A and B are shown apart, each in its own frame.
Chain A
């Protein structure tokens, strides 16, 4: 506590790091976040690590079991599974995060506008997002990728397309009670234009639930990417990606050559699990604070 003149005291300002640590107060959150950070770090550093070239085929070393040379073995193209599993972190996380981010960037403002202004704008935005959500996702993804080309950009757009309504609905529902909040009225009195009220005052206050939903969306997106890649859409073979790796090894599973599928599968499972945990724990923290 630092003393002020007149016997008043103001609390010591915690650093940003301390504040984050306090938000993540529970040990479990930190543990989950730590492991997740480790995975991301591994992916980021992948090119610097002493690994085999993830995309160089070696027809002489197909489906070699794990060994000191290839700790995770090799796949049907003779590529090193360990190197590919680690490099795939880059692909899968980058795709998942960019698609979710795009979904939020488009969805959150739509939701805030729709919730704050209501009326016809609200009806239009709500109807459109409902139509978005009406399509069966995986079929829609297949159709678009088949028609528009099987590129990563298209994959990101498809996944973002599904995140837009998720976030616009969420932000809309949080905006509705905020519309009458004192500080929003105060912002109007302080001279903010309606748009400035929405973007400077309302939107930032809807981000807490958005951020607690974010890891869950990433987990879901990662699963979708892997799923689409598994059925041969999405990410094409030489590029390291968990879904396509699982697919490539899957038909050899029955012959006992488990390593080509199991390791990327495990990586996907662990990532999704950690993301889900983090999301749950964020959620419970939000509930407790509210």
Chain B
């Protein structure tokens, strides 16, 4: 694992973002996507960000890439605030920060061949001339194990797995410092997710390669690639730690639930069909004052309803947002 230097490449501090939904009844409804999320990415490191859909994890990526703007908080790239930059100020940064989208098919312009798409991304590398760029397309396709012959294909002529590798090639094109992977395997069958994961493992081996933020709702894939993992739900980070801490010593009930759901084989049947936030308790009422996961937590005590939970360090490098973290087992 690279990145021992420990220099923070990207730092997100107290990120807050909410969206207003359509009107419900008389009042507007706000959905809190991010609520005081802080995280750090070091050079060459792969950080996993896991949470269910709508937990705000994709929003974070779009904010980092200047596709959206935070309501509050800071995003520091090499110590410099990168929000609210003008188009001109942002341009030199753009090639340093890249992204791979969830749906490989829709993330390619259907009117462009793979070569054209890669050349499009290579235009922001001014030091290359035209013939070098073409050569680079071939190299990039080799690097993602596709081969140069895919250059002439249109997106609809390729499978999802192949396209997602092409998308990674496109993100690698401008030699970025870091790539935000937004559910890169979610639209792929389980039987071919390994192609993407193993490709990332290969890329991690390369000297001076980019760091990754890997966003997913499926913990399974992180087990192979992540150095550190943040577990996020309802806009909050509930647990963070090294991969081994999260997989072998998860402390937060929510992390445990995620792990359990992802494992094959008979689990403990302690789920109750009738209970849960979803059955009617609104998010706001459980958020007011107490732990946000109160209604879904099998370990909830009366104290959970009174006290908002804070993120605290429970092991070196492992943070948990639950006061009962030590006693639950």
- Could you say which interface size class chain B belongs to? 35 or more
Give complex CA distance A2, B14 in Å: 53
Residues of B in contact with A (beta carbons under 8 Å apart): 62, 65, 67, 87, 91, 94-95, 97-99, 101-103, 106-111, 117, 120-121, 123-124, 147, 149-150, 152-153, 157-158, 162, 167, 170-171, 173-174
Contacts of B158 in A (CB 8 A): 10
A185 adjacent to chain B (CB < 8 Å): yes
Nearest residue, chain B, Cβ from A19: B154
> Which bucket holds chain A's interface residue count?
20 to 34
Nearest Cβ distance between residue B98 and chain A, in whole angstroms?
6
Is A194 located at the chain interface by the 8 A CB criterion? yes
Can you show 24 pairs from A to B with CB atoms below 8 A apart?
A: A5-B147, A8-B162, A10-B149, A10-B157, A10-B158, A182-B101, A182-B102, A182-B103, A182-B106, A183-B106, A186-B99, A186-B170, A189-B97, A189-B99, A190-B120, A190-B121, A190-B124, A190-B173, A191-B91, A191-B121, A191-B123, A192-B120, A193-B87, A193-B91
The segment from A161-169, A199-207, A237-245 that touches chain B is A199-207
Nearest CB of B to A34, in Å: 27
Q: Pick the contact of B110: A13, A190, A191, A205 (CB < 8 A).
A: A205
Q: Are B98 and A189 in contact (CB under 8 A)?
A: yes
| Interface class of chain A by DSSP | helix
Q: Mark A193-227, 1 if CB is under 8 A from B, else 0.
A: 11000001100110000000000000000000000
**In the complex, what residues of B have CB within 8 A of residue A200's CB?**
120
Contact A191 B109 (CB under 8 A): no
- Tell me whether A60 is interfacial, beta carbon within 8 Å: no
Chain B residue numbers with a CB within 8 Å of A204 are 109, 111
The answer to whether A186 and B108 touch across the interface, beta carbons within 8 angstroms, is yes
Closest to B67 in A: A185
Interface centre among A8, A185, A190, A205 (most CB of B within 10 A): A190
Assess the A191–B107 pair: CB atoms within 8 A: no
Check if A254 is an interface residue, CB within 8 A of chain B. no
Set of chain B residues within 8 Å of A176, measured between Cβ atoms: none
Q: How far is the CA of A193 from the CA of B123 in the complex (A)?
A: 11
Confirm or deny: A181 has a beta carbon within 8 angstroms of a beta carbon on chain B.
yes
- When the two chains form the complex, which single residue of B87, B117, B120, B157 contacts A11, counting CB atoms closer than 8 Å? B157
Could you tell me which A residues sit within 8 Å of B by CB distance?
4-5, 8, 10-11, 13, 181-183, 185-194, 200-201, 204-205
* A182 CA to B107 CA, complexed, in Å: 5
A201 adjacent to B109 (CB under 8 Å): yes
Cα separation A193 to B99 with both chains bound (whole Å): 17
The answer to whether A13 touches B95 (Cβ under 8 A) is no
Contacts of A191 in B (CB 8 A): 91, 94-95, 121, 123-124, 174
| Nearest residue, chain A, Cβ from B124 | A191
Q: Which 6 A-B pairs have the closest CB atoms?
A: A191-B124, A190-B121, A182-B107, A182-B106, A204-B111, A183-B109
Which residue of B67, B150, B162 is within 8 Å of A188 (Cβ)? B67
Q: Which among B120, B149, B173 is the interface contact of A4 at CB below 8 angstroms?
A: B149
Please tell me if the beta carbons of A186 and B149 are within 8 angstroms of each other in the complex: no
**Which residues of A sit under 8 angstroms from B167, Cβ to Cβ?**
186
Query: How far in angstroms is the closest Cβ of chain B from A72?
Result: 45
Give Cα distance in the complex from A5 to B157, angstroms.
17
Which residue of chain A is the closest to B161 with respect to CB atoms? A8
Closest to A14 in B: B157
A4 to B150, CA, bound (A): 10
Contact of A181 among B65, B106, B153 (CB under 8 A): B106
Contacts of B157 in A (CB 8 A): 10-11, 13
Which A residues touch B124, using CB under 8 A? Answer: 190-191
Residues of A within 8 A of B101 (CB): 182, 185-186
C-alpha gap A182/B106 in the complex (Å): 6
Contact B121 A13 (CB under 8 A): no
With A10-B150, A194-B87: A186-B123 Cβ-Cβ less than 8 Å: no
In the complex with contacts A191-B95, A192-B120, A186-B111 CB distance below 8 A: no
How far is B155's CA from A205's CA once the two chains are assembled, in angstroms?
14
Q: A10-B149, A205-B109, A205-B110 are in contact. Are A189 and B120 (CB under 8 A)?
A: no
Q: For residue A185, which residue of chain B has the nearest CB?
A: B67
Residue of A nearest to B118 (CB): A190
Q: Which residues of A are found within 8 Å of B108, using beta-carbon distances? A: 183, 186
**Which residue of chain B has the shortest Cβ distance to A203 in the bound complex?**
B111
